[in-house]
């Protein structure tokens, strides 16, 4: 927490200068703050002037996020971020028939050599065996270190493509073109890549930032309703952990979001990416418990995904239930009120998300899989909980009896039952 406090102090000092504040707003990395405080503001300002709110500010590895209808085939958004002449387009059997041809034609028209790898669709294929298909495609095409990988698909495609980019010849460029709401608001931004292991989700991977993210809202028209709901889980997450105004906005507009109102979806994506970008800029490698706050409900959710078998529940569905479990535990710890928990439950239900653990999950199964979590330190279970709506904390101090009570209630579809404030 000391590093986080130092970051806030530097940011406060930086914002004393009106000119710097107007350029950066809240989108400032610790490196940028340090440069400005040590008299290098002119160079820093020049660099940051190319960024807009919502872009990811990571110094010379900063990258833009373009959101809107039709951005998928905008060559002017893609080509400046492709440094060579070779492109490997990675997609899956569901998305490729819909969007791969138009993207491929856009790249070929610019004189690029384009090869493709088409993966099976589903979380159950996010493993070593199918990751190797990407390496096979790169090597069979004899692509060099200047190749750019483009991930066209949801979170699984993005995670695997990014991990392959981090590994191939010790690191090559990649671009994210997310085609699900969940990947547009979460997994495509921030550089976390990887694959699953039978014993734990996302336990093998690397940090690899994309060169650019293209979030085309038009693709959401073909998104199955279950996938739309799964994406809204991550959208709700941002409101719960750090943006109470956004949470209230979601409560007002959830019906419109479920009806796929284009303007509302675009705003939800933009505000989600802005929240994600701020957190990533402050703690890219999850060293200071700032980025870990994004994982509200994820420890519970990953346990559901692993315990039920990858692909049985969508990631967002598991996270939705996980967030309610985290809220229930936060209430038992004396932070949230029962009305707070009821408010969260109502919003999740309006988003079409499950609000109880799946049949077959037990408290013991939860604890078995929660013990294998990236946030844990020295064998201690660490959870993201809510001190209040819009204010999250990472803690290893939750009372064991409260955690057990939450898991029992969640497995019995009785979350909030018997919870008092």
- Could you say which of 126, 130, 298, 375 is catalytic? 298
Clarify whether 170 is annotated catalytic.
yes
Clarify whether 286 is annotated catalytic.
yes
Residue 154: strand, helix, or coil: coil
Other CB atoms within a 10 A radius of the CB of residue 233 amount to 29
Clarify whether 116 is annotated catalytic.
no
Clarify whether 242 is annotated catalytic.
no
Clarify whether 47 is annotated catalytic.
no
Clarify whether 267 is annotated catalytic.
no
In angstroms, the CA 88 to CA 76 distance is 18
- Could you say which of 104, 192, 271, 332 is catalytic? 192
Long-range CB contacts (within 8 A, 24+) of 413-417: 413/356, 413/357, 415/324, 415/325, 415/328, 415/341, 415/345, 415/355, 415/356, 416/328, 416/331, 416/338, 416/341, 416/342, 416/345
- Could you say which of 104, 242, 315, 369 is catalytic? 315
> Chain centroid to CA 267: how far?
17
- Could you say which of 288, 295, 369, 375 is catalytic? 295
Local structure of residue 93 (DSSP, 8 states): T
Clarify whether 66 is annotated catalytic.
no
Residue corresponding to tokens 């018997």: 418
In angstroms, the CA 223 to CA 235 distance is 16
391 conformational bin, left if phi > 0, alpha if psi -120 to 50, beta if neither: beta
- Could you say which of 123, 130, 201, 234 is catalytic? 234
- Could you say which of 276, 332, 345, 382 is catalytic? 276
Clarify whether 21 is annotated catalytic.
no
Other CB atoms within a 10 A radius of the CB of residue 390 amount to 17
- Could you say which of 242, 274, 302, 375 is catalytic? 302
- Could you say which of 227, 286, 317, 333 is catalytic? 286
Dihedral sign computed on CA atoms, order 252, 256, 275, 43: negative
What is the DSSP code string of 232-261? HHHHHHHHHHH-HHHHHHHHHHHHHHHTT-
Residue 299: strand, helix, or coil: helix
Kindly report the backbone phi and psi dihedral angles of residue 122, in degrees, each rounded to the nearest multiple of 5, phi listed first.
145, 150
Catalytic residue annotation: 170, 192, 234, 276, 286, 291, 295, 298, 302, 315
């Amino acid at each position: 927490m000391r590093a986080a406090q130092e970051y806030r102090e530097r940011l406060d000092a930086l914002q004393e200068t009106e000119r710097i504040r107007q350029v950066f707003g809240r989108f400032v990395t610790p490196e940028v703050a340090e440069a400005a405080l040590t008299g290098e503001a002119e160079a820093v300002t020049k660099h940051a002037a190319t960024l807009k709110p919502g872009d990811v500010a990571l110094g010379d590895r900063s990258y833009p996020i373009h959101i809107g209808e039709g951005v998928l085939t905008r060559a002017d958004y893609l080509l400046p971020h492709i440094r060579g002449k070779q492109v490997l387009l990675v997609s899956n059997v569901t998305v490729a028939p819909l969007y791969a041809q138009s993207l491929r034609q856009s790249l070929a028209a610019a004189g690029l050599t384009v090869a493709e790898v088409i993966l099976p669709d589903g979380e159950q294929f996010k493993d070593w065996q199918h990751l190797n298909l990407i390496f096979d495609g790169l090597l069979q095409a004899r692509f060099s270190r200047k190749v750019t990988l483009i991930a066209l698909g949801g979170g699984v495609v993005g995670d695997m493509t990014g991990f392959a980019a981090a590994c191939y010849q010790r690191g090559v460029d990649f671009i994210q073109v997310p085609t699900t709401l969940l990947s547009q608001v979460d997994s495509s931004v921030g550089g976390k890549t990887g694959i699953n292991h039978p014993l734990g989700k996302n336990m093998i991977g690397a940090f690899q930032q994309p060169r650019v993210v293209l979030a085309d809202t038009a693709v959401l028209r073909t998104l199955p309703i279950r996938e739309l709901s799964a994406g809204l889980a991550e959208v709700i997450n941002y409101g719960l952990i750090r943006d109470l105004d956004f949470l209230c906005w979601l409560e007002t507009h959830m019906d419109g979001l479920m009806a796929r109102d284009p303007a509302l979806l675009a705003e939800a994506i933009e505000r989600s990416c802005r929240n994600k970008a701020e957190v990533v800029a402050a703690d890219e490698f999850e060293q200071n418990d700032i980025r870990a706050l994004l994982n509200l409900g994820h420890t519970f959710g990953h346990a559901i995904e692993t315990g039920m078998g990858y692909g049985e529940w969508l990631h967002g569905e598991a996270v939705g239930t996980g967030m309610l479990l985290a809220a229930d535990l936060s209430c038992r710890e004396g932070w949230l009120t029962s009305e707070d928990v009821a408010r969260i439950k109502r919003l999740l239900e309006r988003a079409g998300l499950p609000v109880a653990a799946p049949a077959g999950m037990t408290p013991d199964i939860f604890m078995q899989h929660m013990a294998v979590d990236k946030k844990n330190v020295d064998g201690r279970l660490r959870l993201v909980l809510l001190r209040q709506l819009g204010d999250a904390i990472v803690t290893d101090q939750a009372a064991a009896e409260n955690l057990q009570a939450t898991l029992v209630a969640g497995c019995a579809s009785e979350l909030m039952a018997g919870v008092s404030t």
